[in-house]
A and B are shown apart, each in its own frame.
Chain A
């Protein structure tokens, strides 16, 4: 079983749409959770950490469900500039483990 699994997409959505990504992880001892964003041919950059109580940053909302071992990212009012690959990342007692990413294309 892969440690971190994501739907690779692509998700093609119109501007203004709401889109949600889910990610599942296999290591129940995982303690830290993140979403990273990676633009084409660029390095990954931290988008937001994911806390047990859920957290919001502008149009982005992240949720963690420890019982079911999944993490979600919700993007509201999608912008063209949100087009990127979104990487789900978890950490337990080892270095960060990255999912393969979900590709999002926001279309005008």
Chain B
């Protein structure tokens, strides 16, 4: 089975801190994605990557950046955490974006910014 692992299940950070959320997948998928999920707003795409060192903005990239130095790892960076970035963050990976069997998600990181 494809496994997508997110480094932390729960995280509490202070306003203004730089935060790194790590995601690793073990199935050699080209594509990786970061979403956040908030009540009433559903899943919103932050950034995605089709290949190593490639990145594309999603719908809500402001306040975030990403890094993909190796195929299996996709990091989400909050440059200066703010309370409105308190959310559930979900990483996903897939072979194909446009069609295929869909995504496999990690178990999520629940981030609280205080």
The DSSP consensus for interface residues of chain B is loop
* Alpha-carbon gap, A36 to B42, bound state (A): 13
- Which of B11-19, B66-74, B76-84, B99-107 is the contact stretch? B99-107
* Alpha-carbon gap, A101 to B41, bound state (A): 10
Output the least CB separation between A8 and chain B (Å).
8
Q: Which residue of B lies closest to A93 (CB)?
A: B98
Q: Which residues of A in the span 39-77 have a Cβ within 8 Å of any Cβ on B? A: 42-46, 49
A34 contact set on B, CB distance < 8 A:
102
* Alpha-carbon gap, A71 to B106, bound state (A): 26
Chain A residues engaging chain B, CB cutoff 8 angstroms:
31-32, 34, 36, 42-46, 49, 87, 89, 91-96, 98-101
A42 contact set on B, CB distance < 8 A:
107-108
Output the least CB separation between B89 and chain A (Å).
11
Q: Which 8 A-B pairs have the closest CB atoms?
A: A100-B42, A43-B105, A98-B43, A32-B99, A46-B102, A34-B102, A43-B107, A43-B108
A44 contact set on B, CB distance < 8 A:
43, 90, 105
Are B42 and A32 in contact, with the CB atoms below 8 A? no
A49 contact set on B, CB distance < 8 A:
101-102
* Alpha-carbon gap, A44 to B106, bound state (A): 9
Determine which residue in B48, B103, B104, B105 has the highest number of CB atoms from chain A within 10 A of its CB, and name it: B103
Q: Which residue of A lies closest to B4 (CB)?
A: A43
Are A43 and B102 in contact, with the CB atoms below 8 A? no
Provided the pairs A95-B33, A95-B48, A100-B41 are in contact, do residues A45 and B105 lie with their beta carbons within 8 angstroms? Answer: yes
* Alpha-carbon gap, A53 to B64, bound state (A): 41
Are A95 and B58 in contact, with the CB atoms below 8 A? yes
Are B106 and A43 in contact, with the CB atoms below 8 A? yes
Q: B45 in the interface, Cβ–Cβ < 8 Å?
A: yes
Q: Which residue of A lies closest to B31 (CB)?
A: A95
Are A99 and B99 in contact, with the CB atoms below 8 A? no
Are B103 and A96 in contact, with the CB atoms below 8 A? yes
* Alpha-carbon gap, A101 to B43, bound state (A): 9
Given contacts A32-B98, A46-B103, 5 further A-B pairs with CB under 8 A are A32-B99, A43-B106, A46-B102, A89-B102, A94-B97
